[in-house]
Structure 1
Amino acid sequence: MNIVVLRRNKRSSGLLTLTRHRLISLVLGTVIVLPAAFIGAGYYLGVAHMKANPDDLNLALQSELDAQRLKIEEVTRNAQENMDALALRLGNLQSHVVRLDALGQRLTQMANLDNGEFNFEQPPAQGGPLTSSDEMAAGSSMAVPDFLQSLQQLSSQIEDRGEQLGVLEDMLMTRNLQAEVVPAGRPITRGWLSSYYGMRTDPFSGRRAHHSGIDFAGKEGSDVVAVAAGVVTYSGKRSGYGQLVEINHGKGYVTRYGHNKEHLVEVGETVKKGQVIARMGSSGRSTGPHVHFEVLVNGRAVDPKKYILASK
């Protein structure tokens, strides 16, 4: 291939011959050398720009660091708020558990259960064989949403159980109070039964007469106790009874304790079941130290025997 080269000087001209090797060298120079030259120029210009404007680079880096710092602070704040909320919930659950433990211990005592049968200071005994689902779940951790949901369910269950135990406690207390006011047991701590309720031979007249109570003989001065809780409605002398104590227990129940040597309670005084209310004597129409015990239901004397046996 021949190429004619014209010079500005018209007086002369030249002839350039392109061989194959020259043509390849020209093409490679155009394809490789020129891009390399542009890249080099861009690199040097960039370096020159960086050297000329270092503040712009520092400003960009500082802006990015500030943005990352704000994100870290936000994540840390959210995590702290979540931890505070969990700590508060945990404290509430612990207080509920303490209250339930105390309530459980009180109910155990009220129900007269064995101390070893229900121990609220230890977790309940549980167990069982390992299943395939347990093995699969052994390597996995509970996700945060699942944990929070489980915590909420546990809190609701504890509150529900607390309300149920509270109702149970009220029922037991009511039952105990009702049991306290119903006559039950013997009116003495030591002694023996000397006369039954009903028809008998009168020790003074020798005739058949109705005996409205049960007599318990014993040592003079021994304790006479209330068979139920109530309020003293009479404490003094009464014809035939000698020194008499009368107690109103409510719900139509009244008990009488006659022939005492001395009284230890006064009218209007509240007494508890088993409280000593008098000393055994032989005052009034009596042949020796004993207590005449009567039970009245809605104003009518009944046989005290079933109430005496009720405590057994």
Structure 2
Amino acid sequence: MKVILVSERGGISRSFNFGGLSKALLSLCLLGLPVGALWVGANLPAAESDVFDSRAVKAWNKALRKQQEEITEADRQAREQLTALTVKLAEMQARLTRLDALGERLTTLAKLDEGEFQFGSTPAVGGPEDPGIAGASDMPYQPPEFIAAISELSDQIEDRQMQLSTLDTLLASRQLQDEQFIAGRPISRGWMSSRYGYRTDPFSGRRSWHKGVDFAGKSGSDVVSVAAGVVTWAEDRSGYGQLVEINHGNGYKTRYGHNSEIKVKLGDVVKKGQIIAQMGSSGRSTGPHVHFEVYKDNRPVDPATYIRRTGR
């Protein structure tokens, strides 16, 4: 094989002669280079593509497993919360039932007008329609059923609590009035020994005005308040001996004289029927008894009217 090389400048040419072995090597090199380039070009991107796809698939699988675990955990928590809400709903229903029963019982005991307090019925509500946000009425929000049930129960319980609060205030006011209502005798044991009005004075023998009533009994017997009030006197007083005076409000006050011992002090708040002293014969007295007086607007009135009263 003969190869001739020609120069561009001088037109000089050279020739080379190759033998059989050289010819084979040269042919192999000339043919192998293109084939090798084609093989590398075909296989190198595929290898790189295989590596990229394998890594991506592993990453996607890992992300999917993590998302599945998160979904499973969220589902478990949602079921637990739903169970807790169901239990809470049952508790609220039981509470509402007890409130209704209590309210109806108190209404009966208080002898209130029928219909004034309505326990066990849906609260009455109303009002003008609120236009709200434009377009919102076209697609109203629909909460889940159990959320709506809890909201309804909450409104009913709030209504019952408001009614019970009003009823409690009403009963407390009525109880206070009952406590302040003067009625009954100021002693636990004994008898009436002198009435209100004119009588013969036991010391002078002259006709005199007696502005209270006397209850005789055993020395040391209990003297009780005929109504709730505040102690405005609890010590010795001329003619009364050891005296207890109680202000009951609304212009009323009572006096308990001739005690042997006083059980309360100035400023004490006393209840109806509370022991305030022990019967004695202190002061201007002929023997163990209680001198009982009732005042209305600072004027003495006949205690018999109040003694004969019965509690409200």
Corresponding residue SS for 1:284:
coil
In the TM superposition, 1:209-224 aligns within 5 A as 209-224=208-223
Question: For the structure 1 residues 306 and 63, does the alpha-carbon distance in structure 2 shift closer, same or farther, using more than 3 Å as the test?
Answer: farther
Could you say which residue in structure 1 is the equivalent of 2:136? none
Q: Secondary structure at the match of 2:183?
A: coil
Question: Displacement of 1:180 after TM fit?
Answer: 2.3
Whether the 8 Å contact between 1:255 and 1:295 is mirrored in structure 2 is yes
The corresponding residue for 1:146 is 145
- Using the TM superposition, name which of 167-176 and 84-93 deviates more: 84-93
Partner of 2:252: 253
Output the amino acid matched with 2:81.
Answer: D
> Does residue 1:201 correspond to 2:232, yes or no?
no
Structure 1 position 276 matched with structure 2 position 275: yes
**2:235 corresponds to which residue?**
236
Give the conservation status (yes or no) of the 8 Å contact 1:232–1:266.
yes
Distance in 1 (alpha carbons) for counterparts of 2:146 and 2:96: 24
TM-score by length of 2: 0.58
Query: Structure 1: which 5+ runs fail to align?
Result: 1-52, 114-123, 125-143
Corresponding residue for residue 188 of structure 2: 189
Checking the alignment, whether the CA contact within 8 Å between 1:231 and 1:271 is kept in structure 2 is yes
Q: What value does the CA root-mean-square deviation take over the aligned residues?
A: 4.5
Greater Cα offset, 267-276 or 73-82:
73-82
1:228-274 C-alpha deviation (Å, 9 max, x unpaired): 23222222333332321111223322110012222222323333322
Other-structure match for 1:296: 295
Q: Tell me whether 1:267 sits opposite 2:263 in the alignment.
A: no
CA displacement at 1:190 relative to structure 2? 0.9
1:178 shift after superposition: 3.1
Judging changes above 3 Å, is the alpha-carbon distance between structure 1 residues 278 and 162 closer, same or farther for their aligned structure 2 residues? same
Residues 79 and 149 of structure 1: CA distance in aligned 2, closer, same or farther (over 3 Å)? farther
Q: By how many angstroms is 1:99 displaced?
A: 10
Change (3 A) 1:229 1:95: farther
**Any conservation in 1 of the 2:215–2:291 contact (CA below 8 Å)?**
yes
* Separation in 1, partners of 2:290, 2:179: 21
Q: Give the equivalent residue in structure 1 for 2:310.
A: 310
Structure 1 letter corresponding to 2:278: R
After superposition, the Cα gap between the structure-2 partners of 1:232 and 1:82, relative to the gap in structure 1 and judged at 3 Å, is same
1:183 is displaced (CA, Å) by 2.4
Q: Is the 8 A contact 2:224 2:276 kept in 1?
A: yes
Structure 1 residues 126-166: Cα deviation after superposition (integer angstroms, max 9, x where no partner): xxxxxxxxxxxxxxxxxx92232112211221122123212
User: % of aligned pairs identical?
Assistant: 47
Distance in 2 between residues matched to 1:56 and 1:71, nearest whole Å: 22
Query: Which of residues 71, 75, 99 in structure 2 aligns to 1:74?
Result: 71
Q: In structure 1, what residue type is equivalent to 2:253?
A: V
Tell me the secondary structure at the aligned position of residue 183 of structure 1: coil
Aligned 8 A contact 2:99 2:160 in 1: no
> CA 1:172–1:287 in structure 2 vs 1: closer, same or farther (change >3 Å)?
same
The one-letter code sitting in structure 2 at the alignment partner of 1:279 is Q
Letter of the structure 2 residue corresponding to residue 70 of structure 1? Q
Counterpart for residue 36 of structure 1:
none
Which residue is equivalent to 1:129? none
Shift of 1:81: 4.4
Q: 1:72 and 1:167 mapped to 2: Cα distance?
A: 53
Q: CA 1:63–1:257 in 2, change beyond 3 Å: closer, same or farther?
A: same
Residues 93 and 155, structure 1, Cα contact 8 Å, conserved in 2: no
Equivalent position SS for 1:240: coil
Q: Do the aligned partners of 2:103 and 2:164 also contact (CA within 8 Å) in 1?
A: no
Q: Structure 2: any 5+ residue segments left out of the alignment?
A: 1-49, 111-119, 121-142
| 1:80-122 CA-partner distances (Å, limit 9, x unpaired) | 2474377369559848966996998799799979xxxxxxxxx
TM-score scaled by structure 1?
A: 0.58
Any idea what SS the aligned residue of 1:283 has?
A: coil
C-alpha distance in 2, partners of 1:272/1:106?
Answer: 27
Per-residue displacement from partner, 1:188-208 (whole Å, max 9, x unpaired)? 1111222333x3422425555
> Partner letter of residue 200 of structure 2?
D
| Deviation, structure 1 residue 65 | 8.7
Deviations 1:4-45 (A, max 9, x none): xxxxxxxxxxxxxxxxxxxxxxxxxxxxxxxxxxxxxxxxxx
Q: How does 1:10-159 map to 2 (within 5 A)?
A: 63=60, 67=64, 70=67, 73-74=70-71, 76-77=73-74, 80-81=77-78, 83-84=80-81, 87=84, 91=88, 94=91, 145-159=144-158
Note if contact 1:294-1:301 (Cα within 8 Å) is conserved in structure 2: yes
